[in-house]
Structure 1
Amino acid sequence: MKHSFIFALCAATMLLPACRNNSTNSAPAVQELKMEEAPAIAAVAAEGALASSGSHAGQGAALPISQKIIKNAVLRFSTSDFESSKKRIADTVKKYGGYIASEKQENTSMQWRNEVAIKVPAAAFEQCVESITSGASRIDEKSITSTDVTEEYVDLDARMKARLAVEQRYVQILQQAKNVKEILEVEAQLKSIREEIESAKGRLQYMDHHVAYSNISLEYYQTFANSDPQSPGFLQRSWLSFKDGWNWLLSLTLGIFSAWPLIVGIVFIFIFIKRGIRRWKSRKAPTNVNQ
């Protein structure tokens, strides 16, 4: 009996430290999550601030990445040969390694017009603009702008890298989660961080594309007749008036051709009425003679 009591006491003494360790390990993981989350968020803010200050300081010195400049041009001109200009512009864009992103052409009896969005490599931007405008009869608008997005790019890139580091910390914390509540909390934070990372990646890709390929918004047109001459002069006014009259005559002729069913219907109605009147007169004429 005495030996049994001593054995039970020894067993209880050995189990007590183990129970204490289990109690310590079962502490709420939410507190551990918060303790890990605070330094992670602080790291994001610190790294973002360093990236921003580094981009400002780098304005007078060498930047860690190449300068990011987005170039845009707006061109509008008239041409004396619409089809020839269209082919020349397509060949020019192809020559400089660009492509036509969109095109909208409108043709009327008075004017042909084409609106084109062109993407061309930034290195060939100036040469492409000069080649496109070289064949213009008259340039109405030529506007070129350059936007430096280097500072925004550096800052956004640094913040994205900081968020990637935070994402890895949350993945490690997720592996240590002990219950469903902790897992859901960490996964919610991971989802938010990953959405920010995807948004930053999308913005960086957008800037990279627009830096690599400059945009040219082009509009060119050919005017066939205009009652309001672009420059004064009797001969030009006379010639444009003659063209206006000729175009009006063509439009009238085409309108008559397109209305042939109506004209045929009117002719048949006229013939029908005329025959009816003749029949009415022929029936009434003998009656008048008998009287």
Structure 2
Amino acid sequence: MLTRAEHVRADPVPHARRRSAVLALVAMILALLLGACSAADQASSAGGGSDGAGSEDEAALAEAADGEAGAVGAPGADVLRAQADAAPGRMIARDASVRLVVDDVTQAAGQVRAAAAAADGYVVSEEVTPGDADADGERDDGGYAMFVLSVPSASLDQAVDRVGDLGTVVSSDMTSKDVTEQYVDTTARIETLQASVDRVRALLGEAGTVKDIVALERELSDREAELDALRAVQQSLEADVSRSSLTVELHTDEAAVVAAAEDPSGFVAGLQRGWSAFGAATATVLTGLGAVLPFAIALAVLLLPVLWWQRRRATHAGAARPGPDSTAGHEADQLRA
């Protein structure tokens, strides 16, 4: 029997073949590694180019974003004006509000009325509270006025500019609402319902029995009522689009108008309001107790002597009344006698 060394010496060919196979496998692995490295180099070079292009694209996008941000950061009135100008054929309902600080509320109020008239508008409501005059006859802080103006939508921008020239503008807001779809839907429903009303009227003219006439008249009345309601909605939308509401607030105290412009919200604001309400409720309860306490003391002073006298009288009456044991003893003595 041959040993392992003798077997190897006796059969050298298979060993050479195994060595060749191992060398070939190593060569293939090296070739794969070299290919992977070259591919990685190409990918990195391509990635560098794409990174450059990507940086350029990002810069362009950043510039565009900055442009959009600048447009958003612009005054809201200018943005809404541009939107209104860029939407021909659309039905846009616009409203605006302006808060101002003025020297004299009464004089500024007259100028607001003149601005409404110049814009072919009118004053819907007004509230004017002039400030108190000091010793020199000048108005001190505390004056306030609020106007609600109705002006044509085409003259809204002119009215806002004219009112803004009356004092220092603290805040200016403008809202825009597209009611085109609602108006188109309402108009289509009106046309459909009008055709239905016409058919019912035609059937009413051909009705031959009282029962049919009564039923058709009831149906006609319901449809005409619905038609009138839709027409009212249509007219309201047309009015909202054709005319705009402009709210003007005038103050002589800048701190007051700043406080009026701020509208706190959120958890902290809710907590503050809740605490204020709790304090107000506690103050109300304590005020009520303070109002009732004098009457309670006076009533106690009057009732305590009466209660004491009644209790003392009841005690003496109980002591004078004979008990059942003494009565029975007295009867026994009589029987023994």
Q: Shorter-normalised TM-score: what interval? A: 0.5 to 0.7
Question: 136, 140, 151: which is aligned to 2:167?
Answer: 136
Per-residue deviation, residues 97-131 of structure 1 (Å, max 9, x unmatched):
11111111234545121111101111111121011
Counterpart of 1:80 in 2: which secondary structure? coil
In 2, distance between residues paired with 1:74 and 1:91? 17
Asked if 1:212 corresponds to 2:242, the answer is yes
2:90 counterpart letter in structure 1: Q
Counterpart of 1:111 in 2: which secondary structure? coil
Question: 135, 142, 145: which is aligned to 1:111?
Answer: 142
In 2, distance between residues paired with 1:180 and 1:174? 10
- Is residue 124–residue 149 contact of structure 2 (8 Å, CA) maintained in 1? yes
- Is residue 92–residue 128 contact of structure 1 (8 Å, CA) maintained in 2? yes
- Is residue 111–residue 224 contact of structure 1 (8 Å, CA) maintained in 2? no
Per-residue deviation, residues 40-63 of structure 1 (Å, max 9, x unmatched):
xxxxxxxxxxxxxxxxxxxxxxx9
Question: Map of 1:262-277 to 2, 5 A cutoff?
Answer: none
- Is residue 116–residue 219 contact of structure 1 (8 Å, CA) maintained in 2? yes
What is the aligned partner in structure 2 of residue 85 from structure 1?
A: 108
Question: 60, 69, 82: which is aligned to 2:92?
Answer: 69
What is the TM-score normalised by the length of structure 2?
A: 0.45
What is the aligned partner in structure 1 of residue 183 from structure 2?
A: 153
What is the aligned partner in structure 2 of residue 94 from structure 1?
A: 117
Per-residue deviation, residues 23-52 of structure 1 (Å, max 9, x unmatched):
xxxxxxxxxxxxxxxxxxxxxxxxxxxxxx
What is the TM-score normalised by the length of structure 1?
A: 0.52
1:217 counterpart letter in structure 2: T
Asked if 1:127 corresponds to 2:158, the answer is yes
Residue identity over aligned pairs, in percent, reads 24
- Is residue 102–residue 108 contact of structure 2 (8 Å, CA) maintained in 1? yes
- Is residue 106–residue 128 contact of structure 2 (8 Å, CA) maintained in 1? no
Deviation of the 1:133 alpha carbon: 1.1
Per-residue deviation, residues 69-113 of structure 1 (Å, max 9, x unmatched):
110012112111222312222221111111111111234545121
In 1, distance between residues paired with 2:114 and 2:254? 25
- Is residue 150–residue 243 contact of structure 2 (8 Å, CA) maintained in 1? yes
Give the gaps of 5 or more residues in structure 1. Answer: 1-62, 227-291
Going by fraction, where is helix more abundant, 1 or 2?
A: 2
Deviation of the 1:224 alpha carbon: 10
CA RMSD of aligned residues (A): 2.6
**Runs of 4+ in structure 1 displaced over 4 angstroms?**
none
Higher-Rg structure is: 2
Deviation of the 1:67 alpha carbon: 2.2
